[in-house]
Structure formats: C-alpha cells, structure tokens
A and B are shown apart, each in its own frame.
Chain A
Amino acid sequence: MRVALFITCVNDTLFPGTGRAVVTLLRRLGCDVEFPRAQTCCGQMHLNTGYPREGRRLARHFLDVFAGYDAVVAPSGSCAATVREQYPRLARAAAPSSAPVRASAAAPVRPPAPGAIADDGSAAFADAVAELVPKVRDLSEFLVDVLGVTDVGAYFPHRVTYHPTCHSLRGLRVGDRPIRLLERVRGLELVPLPAAEECCGFGGTFAVKNPAISAAMCADKARNVTATGAEVLCAADNSCLTHIGGTLSRQRTGVRTMHLAEILAATEGAR
C-alpha cells in the first residue's frame, strides 16, 4: 500500500513538529509514508473565503500530486474535510460544461495521465475527484480504519482534554476515534471538555472579518478548557489550536496545546 502524507500548508510552514510526529508514529506502526514534494495547499482558504477560481486551481494541483496513492493521510480535520466535502461540489459545479465532452462518442473520455488533469470544467476533473476523495483521511480515521489500531503504544503521563474540531466532528464525522486513541495512551488522564462540540470561533478568515464574535466564542472555549484543569489541550487540527492556544497564552493560563499526532507519537523516555 502506497501511503502519502499530506502535511497541509499550515503544518508545513508553522507546525513541522506535527508532521515529524506523524512520520514517527506511522513508522512505529510499520507504515512507510511518502511525502510527495510537489504538494502545497488544498485550497481551503481560497474556497472558504469566496475565491473559487483559485481554490479550484489548487484542487486540481492536489489531485495531480496525489493521484495513484492508495491512501492520503492528513493531520488536519479541516483540510481533509475540504477535500472530501468541497472537491465533489467543485466537480458538480463543473458538470454542465463537461456535458458536451461526454456527449461525443467519437472522443471517449480517457483517464487522466498523471500530472495532466485537464481544465476544471472537464470530466477528467470529476473522475479524479471520484477516484481520490475516498482515499483521503484524517489521522485518526487512518489509524483506526486503515491500520486498524487504537493502541499505538504511546506514553504521555499528563492530564489532557480534547476539543473535537468542527470539521472533524461534523464534516468528516470521525466520531469517537480520537477519544479511543487517547484512552489507550499509557499514563494519560483524559478529562472531558464541557460544551466540547461548540465551535472555537476560528473559522479561517472569520477570526479577522468578525473579530468581536470570534473572540467572544474563543473566550468561552478557553474558559471551558481551563475549567477542566488539564495541562494540555489536544485537537486534530492546528488551525483551531492556534486560535484557542493563542487565547490561552494571552490569558497566561499555562495550558499547552498539542496536536493529536504529537501525543500519539510520544513514548517513554521521550519528552
């Protein structure tokens, strides 16, 4: 099985430690992961902010880069959800203009050659989406569903609370997979987060476009986090963690934030 790591642009640039943790963790579980170097960004920011043209271009690039892999694992709920939820929409939106291509019996649609996914309006785009999208998984899905493990052999003797980010929860529907993984970490004390399912108020550009509401939402989230008495706030998305962590740090709460991958990669002796 060829497994590709989609690191995501945010992790690549700001949180390389999360990427290293994913690599360590997967290797420990006997899974050799490749890093296709041509990857950049899934297009989430452009798509969600109202720039579908750029977003579509980046989607096309993503489809090119990851074509041919059996699984693509992404340590980010919102990026995996962008691929899984938004790419099929892009394919559907492109459908009408692709009709004439399909209608011609003389020119049957060919599967795309690698690196040659044609224009967004084409049937090739829709085919590539249909082919790749089911293979793209968030880390917890990959561990539980593909590798079939919940005990990853981790050791992390700390009090931890978990925030199920919106796109993992309601987009990907990862359910209790991350909780099951955390429960098997030796030494870890998992404390439930009150109102866990409520959004932290990040929402990408929402934090900048609607700062007052975003800050009010995050203040409530931070209050719930500190109420647990946890040392570490864990989530499977560094974007949300940046937001909540930035607030926790400004308020000098002393609570650290850690990506799920980093906790699962931790073993005795390390850290």
Chain B
Amino acid sequence: MSGRATFLGMPAFPVNAAAAVQDSQLRFNLRKATHTIRGRRASVVAEVPDWAELRAAGRQIKDHTLRNLERYLLRLEEAVTRAGGHVHWAADAREANRIVAGLVRATGETSVVKVKSMATQEIGLNEALAAEGITAYETDLAELIVQLGDDWPSHILVPAIHRNRSEIREIFLEKMAEWGRAAPEGLTDEPRALAEAARLHLRERFLSTKVAISGANFMIAETGTLVVLESEGNGRMCLTLPETLISVVGIEKLLPSWRDLEVFLQLLPRSSTGERMNPYTSTWTGAVEGQEFHLVLLDNGRTGVLADEVGRQALRCIRCSACLNVCPVYERAGGHAYGSVYPGPIGAILTPQLRGTTSDLDASLPYASTLCGACFDVCPVAIDIPEVLVHLRGRVRHPRAERLGMRAAGWVFDRQERLTRAERVAGRLRRFVPRRLPGPLSAWTETRDLPDIPPESFRDWWDRTDGGTR
C-alpha cells in the first residue's frame, strides 16, 4: 500500500527543479493555486490596520518563548500531567516513532486515523507504523489525496497542490477501494462531488477507528492546552471520537499563555488560507471525558537549531506557508524538488538546519533562492529568510572551481590597481568573448546574450577626463 520512494538519495535541487519546470501541467496547477491564495492573503492582511504591530508581537512572543524554552516546556508538562495526560519526550524521529508505535500497540489496535500534521510527516511516522503492522489513515482531504496517490506532499498547507481536479478524480476512482469505501461510480471532477466521495470514505473510518494521531499548531504552557486550526472539521472528528489520542508536537510550538494565542489566531489564518478566521479551532487540555491522551514532545534537531544565533529564527515558523505562495522559485520548481516535507523558502532554511548539509540535496537548498525577499515580507513572524539563506551558504562546502574563482575575484578586488589592470585586459579582449560561454557559465548564454565589454572602464574614463571636466 505504501511503497513510495524515500527522500533520501534524491539529487540536488537544481536537477529536480530543472525536471519540474518542464512539466507544464504542474506549472499551471501551481501557478493557479499559489496566485489565488497569494491574492486572498494580500487582501485580508490589508484589512488589518495594525498588521505590522501584530507581526512584531508574534515575533517577540516566539523569541521570548524560545529563549525560555526549558522553563515553559516543564510548565507545559506539569499542566498536561495535572489534567490527566501523559507526556513523552522524544529526542529524535526514531524515538518518537518508537513511542507512538508502542502506545498504539498497547491499545491492541492496528489502525489509526490522522489529523493533518507536519511533525509526523517530518519523522516518517506512517511508514514507521506500517513497519509495525499498523495502518495510518490520513483524514485531511489533501493528505488523503497524497496518500491514495502514493505520492509526496508538495506544500505545507495544501499537500496536493500539484494535483488538479481530474487527477484527483482518477486517484479516487482507482485507489479508494483499496483503502476502504470505494468512490461512487460515475464520479465527476466537480469539487463538490470529490468532497462528497471523500466524506463518505472518511466517515466510515472515523466511526470505526479507536486511536487518533495529531499534531498541534500551538501548545499553551500555562494550562497545558493544545490547539489545532483547520478548515474541514475532519481534524475535530479525529480529536473527539477515538478513545485514545496521541499528539506529536515539535517543542517550538509552545506559547506561554492564552493571551499570546490571541495574536496567533489573527496571524495564522490570514497568512495561511487567506481567511479572517479558520472554520474550526479545536482546543483540548489533557485527557477529556474518558479519552486517553498522550503528548509526544519532539526535538529532532530543534535544540541544535536553537544554538545557532542567526538560524534559530526559523523556529518561529508557524507553518502558514505564505512564503511558499509568494516564492517565484517554489512556483516554478514545485514542492517535491526540495526533497523534504518542508518545501519552499522555509524548507530551504529549515531542512539544512534539521538534517545538516552533508548530502548534495541538503547542501543545494540554501541556494534555491534568488534572495528576492518576497518571503520575508509576507512572513507573519518576520523570519528574515534571505538572511538565514546567506548565513547557511557560508556553511556548506563549495565546488572547487567556484572556490578558486571566488578567491581570484577576492584577490582582484582587494586592491584597486588589480581591478584596474583586470578591466584593461577585459577591454582589450572584448572582441574575443564568445557568444556562448563554456563550462558552468554556459548556463547563462543558453538563454541570454552577454553584454558588450566596453573599451574603457569608468575609472579610466574618470582619470582620462578628470571626472568628465576635460
């Protein structure tokens, strides 16, 4: 059922992106979807007169929490425990998966329903559970499409953004029966018909499954409350119906108090879906009405990120995906090219920090940007993504030819006499520059002409004419 390929061993970003950009259907789907959400976000953000202050508050609350993370985590643990929940600490993906699998096994069940969650995607929980004979059923509509299609998510908010209606219809007709209730015969690609097919398929699942797994958008330290924002209501079904609820949450999702939540309930929906308020906001504190509740607090590289003074701002991220929707590179490369559950600008700064930069793919991610800054402008918690990209570029290993070239350029720029001489040589050789450049520089002349080299540099003109006065 779940034989999808792994991200590991994927080629570097430029290779993936070059393939994706050729796929005109994919580009059409992505362009349409990102531009629609982008426009909606822009208009609902413009409505809020104090958006800049809200954004500054969001940033400040997150920074404060991260600086005092240990204190607030302990407070959270105490509050959750007091409310009848069980708290587990997981240092990495393997430990988190082991804990969750153990908890599910203890219930005697072999299937679980899932609320859309990035943290469980990050640790590959579904695959880990499958290896233990436990089937995880995604219940978010887009996640369901991805799961049925044996596919990878390509967007944080809309994991199936790369699929259009007719592709979804085909996936439903072909795969739903394998996983449960089959799609109705004669299914059309009308959004309403597709949603109805998913509803019927999932309803059965909700009523029969006894264990649910979720993530959380926020955790409130003072009361031990978890918060999930969603659009479909499927999350609420998972959170309330099953007898056991297991939530896997990154340690950076913490907020000190309910008052802080107010800021984020404004920032997140407007940035994410472009709505003033999301349709469903669920909160729960500990074990509710006979339900058993487990909270798995996930580190998985986060404390390492916290140690980096520049890179740590990535932990402020609330996974709204506004940065994806405005990114011209994401729009053309698609989410899969980033080789991680975190695509787009946030992925380009988070993945290399969580996984390191030893693989070709991870080392290429900080370069998957023109540094145009559109992401920083829309980020509701003011993560300076270009700053972190530049910072991470200073950390990766560079190709030898580039190193030599950069060293030579640095040497020339060190002294104006050297630059003057280099400019004169270029001026003399100007007629010999080929229309097509060799090696890696051919990438430029493939689609663009080169500028003509002038016979005289500016500084030589200045000297000859005494600043244009002669």
Contacts and interface: CB of A to CB of B under 8 A. Distances in A.
Interface string A62-94: 000000000000000000000001100100010
Contacts of A38: 416
A246 B387 CA distance: 28
A166 B440 CA distance: 25
A128 interface: no
B426 interface: yes
B169 interface: no
Contacts, number: 198
Nearest to A13: B423
B444 A211 contact: yes
A35 B329 contact: no
B396 interface: yes
Contacts of B413: 9, 40-41, 43, 58, 61
A199 B328 contact: yes
Contact of B393 (A23, A50, A213, A214): A50
Given A50-B395, A52-B394, A246-B448, A16 B373 contact: no
Nearest to B461: A16
Interface residues of A, number: 71
A220 to B, nearest CB: 8
B362 to A, nearest CB: 14
A188 interface: no
A209 B441 CA distance: 9
Nearest to A47: B390
A206 B369 contact: yes
A207 B443 contact: yes
A179 interface: no
A201 B448 contact: no
Nearest to A62: B413
Interface of B is mostly: helix
Interface string A38-54: 11110101111111101
Given A51-B410, A166-B372, A209 B451 contact: no
A198 interface: yes
B111 to A, nearest CB: 41
B453 A14 contact: yes
Nearest to B22: A212
A15 B426 CA distance: 13
Given A35-B462, A210-B14, A54 B448 contact: no
Nearest to A18: B458
Interface in A151-185: 166-167, 169-171
A247 B449 CA distance: 6
Interface string B7-30: 000000110011001100000000
Contacts of B21: 212-213, 216
Interface residues of B, number: 66
Contacts of A202: 370
A206 B367 contact: yes
A39 B13 CA distance: 36
Nearest to B411: A54
Given A199-B370, A209-B14, A218 B447 contact: yes
B394 A50 contact: yes
B468 A48 contact: no
Given A35-B467, A48-B390, A211 B446 contact: yes
B457 A16 contact: yes
B441 A170 contact: no
A14 B454 contact: yes
A245 B451 CA distance: 8
B449 A61 contact: no
B396 A50 contact: yes
Contacts of A11: 458
B456 interface: yes
13 contacts: A14-B454, A19-B458, A35-B459, A38-B416, A40-B414, A170-B373, A199-B372, A201-B328, A204-B371, A211-B18, A213-B18, A246-B444, A246-B448
List 8 tightest A-B contacts by C-beta distance, closest first: A203-B370, A246-B448, A50-B393, A211-B443, A199-B372, A212-B18, A170-B373, A54-B410
